[in-house]
Structure 1
Amino acid sequence: MVRFSQPFSSSEAVVYFFQGIDINHKHDRKVRRTSPKSEDPYLRILAKLYKFLARRTGEKFNNIIMRRLFMSRRFRAPLSIARISRILKKKSNSNKIVLAALKVTRSARARILKAGGEVITLDQLALRAPRGENTLLLQGPRKAREAQKHFGPAPGVPHSHTKPYVRSKGRKFERARGRRASRGYKA
């Protein structure tokens, strides 16, 4: 920006230069989902509902559910009844549970109902507990995928428990140096 203190006709014009900083905005994008990628209309309606609840209630509970509804199936790991009961055993001694989930298998539903529990949908949960009162949020183990076992420091590196991509588990496959004392050393 250039500013003149007096008109051009004056012999002594004072010029001010305000120099801006050229900031690189190349990496400004916030990488996160703001809606589900799925085209499932029921999931999209649920996401819309919890987006509204998260905004209007300001509760962390609704915000977490909203974020999880946006997630890909890779991060929505299944959760077994055994794991649920193990976690709930620490919280209470009752077998009756009210479970709200996107999907419940037929056998799991039967077991919960037989124990005197209840299985509800997430929109029913929104009506019962719009602020998430008296609820416990659980999720399946995200890192339990087979692919996840191959991630980490390279197999063979000291203290690495990364699973190697190997075509067979036989004697001749990744069983030599570092694996047996008779072949140089055993790590």
Structure 2
Amino acid sequence: KMRQNERNQDNITDRFGAREPKNQGIYLRLLVKLYSFLDKLTNSTFNHAVLKRLLRSRTTRPPLSLSRMIPKMKLPGREGKTAVVVGTITDDVRVQEVPKLKAPGNPRSHTKPYVRSKGRKFEHARGLRASHQYKN
């Protein structure tokens, strides 16, 4: 039988809140399954924190500033590693030099063009064919 996490049994505040994500994305659901399993199996606060952050809505997910991420990635043993953040990485104008960092999944990386109106003469199947005025 799997060992129960003592922290979750004792702390009454952990019994309430989101049980599953609102987002129906398959990769997010797989991550929630994995981290909920790891949270039950181990007594790690890291797995518990990641699970709680994955279950947050997009608006309540806290952003991470670039100026806070750079020193964390400069720690010994982290060169060449990929930073995985549950949330948005925001730009910081106070940073003069940004070192080369790998952070996948930046939002708005597939920007679609501004369309004046909806109709048959305006762009519909964007990025699919050259006949519709826009090819990604």
TM-score, length of structure 2 as denominator length: 0.46
Q: Which structure has the greater CA radius of gyration?
A: 1
Bigger RCO (CA 8 Å, 6+ sep): 2
TM-score, length of structure 1 as denominator length: 0.35
